[in-house]
Structure 1
């Protein structure tokens, strides 16, 4: 956040002095949080809060209040709310609730037709809305510098996912069109959905950003002349390069990157030219969004199929550590998302009976998240062998297989 590369960031949590729960076993009785905790865990409460209409409306009202305030302070900037729901159905409800409060809103999610998406993005870019409702569609690959308020309605368990969604409101508004107030990002969520620990990471980043930058060393003529008397004497023998990242005898990576970049840009421009002919009503802003998405997709494809394998082959040991860590993190993140979507507790045990005949080393004490991780690892083991024995290319294939394994698990869980 230093040097105004991103917006200043703060959070505001919403809670209630009186919070009551009704459970299926006792539908006519109102229970306090403390009473619920006696027979259910904290995650159950967090999910209940996240999916509660009343609690969602509390967050909606506060996000609208903050939007109006920031628009009052900087009326020349088209600030917007980014609201992130738990699922597509939940996001649709959020859309309706924002509209009922008089806020022009659009929704963006993965099940929309391409034409619907283009229309939604056009409304965002042309500032025809004040709130953008999403699930995960805006996590990566889309930047809109006027998203200034983030309303979170889901209890993230992955720090990576939380960091990505917060990053959507951090894109800085350039100095040519802003004052200091304009580059403030506000994160709003309900106190009881368990995001405060994740927020602490960002709080530390903000505090670091507010401190003065480290001063550069100042050398005087005297420092140089008297260096042997006031500084350490340094002796250097048998000089050798520790590592060369940018030069390899057999390939010029800079040239390779430039060639691929030019090729991708040319392909994107050709696709945009065809779109202009088939959809003459598309605005330049919409075409620019589509162009960026084409470049992103083609860059990922080239990186995966051509450039990354080449780099991996030149830095195998370093790449191996990165790939193993990536496989572990992606597996854990995917399991957390699946359990949340299926309304299952990560530390629950509902999946034991279903998976005990499928996984050889499953224990009665294994929790739901551990069971799914073991299932994924066992499937990958049968296909590729032990992780410690997989080469880089096999590790890449393991990561690629995660999406299909995730779909298989979702079909299996009733």
Structure 2
């Protein structure tokens, strides 16, 4: 079957947008064939350096040989079963609970981050006998989180978004006093300061509100365990997923016994599927043995420093924010942004349009040298096609870029300006 036929059949048969996060490339729709380390190949044999990495779930690299060997051995030994528990659930639970350093905590497993976060919400609602959930950040595609009544109103599922703004959190608590079950926060370490986290968490503790850290994206990416320790904070419950098992389907909720007891009946047919647990054990072991979290950051930091030097002398007003673990490109307008990503794609770089780029451990200095060379050429090409002096990144553009990454209001402009832009985004 030709590539064109495959693409047409996907569009005809599949209802979901399987091209996401490749939306900007829909004119050049890609069907992938294989992956190895830092690279991914399409069905026509073209190679790309992959910075999407399964939306950040591929931490070691595509088809890591050590993880594959563990999976092959398990399949060869016919050790997989979905009938009941196995020893690997115990082994993985011990590691995660040890990393959290919390007494009297328990763990429940799921397949995806989206369902694990939703399960954590159900647990705290049952434990607290309260219904309202305050939210900041992206928690998955589930309609539970949709803003169906506007940005500052409870939705039909009793969810209210406070967009990481302490004043909005205070207002929400005042207006819904006595009926708030939890504050669910998906952390971001590019656009929010430690001070903001300290203030948000202090407000919740003052009012005895459960804090759920949706650490699906950040947990086990910056360090072993939860990411909040980087800003000196702790939550009541944690949700992990993307950093656990190098792309295999596994997530979990970890929390105090008095809350986790409400997950007793949250089991499902594939709860005991063996391979994701084995992959997680192998991934966490390898990341520890190779100091992988710091290695990703340090190698990526060298690349970003070199790139920032190039951008400093470029006529294109373009920034790159973040560090080697996660970073984001910021552009003066949508047109330049779209052309940048398309030109990169044509030259073998696969970026997540508008969102954070997610490096893996297999992206070496040599790979980054190639990436830097391609981006330099792309910037030169863009510069020759635009009167670039007439385009600059303003505060609203910076805010919108942050919004795309964290689904909330960043710290770099005043609260009143943040609220104006939020209302504008929801009115468009």
Normalization by structure 2: what TM-score? 0.29
Q: Could you say which structure has the higher helix fraction?
A: 1
Higher relative contact order (CA 8 A, sep 6+): 2
Scaled by the length of structure 1, the TM-score of the pair is: 0.30
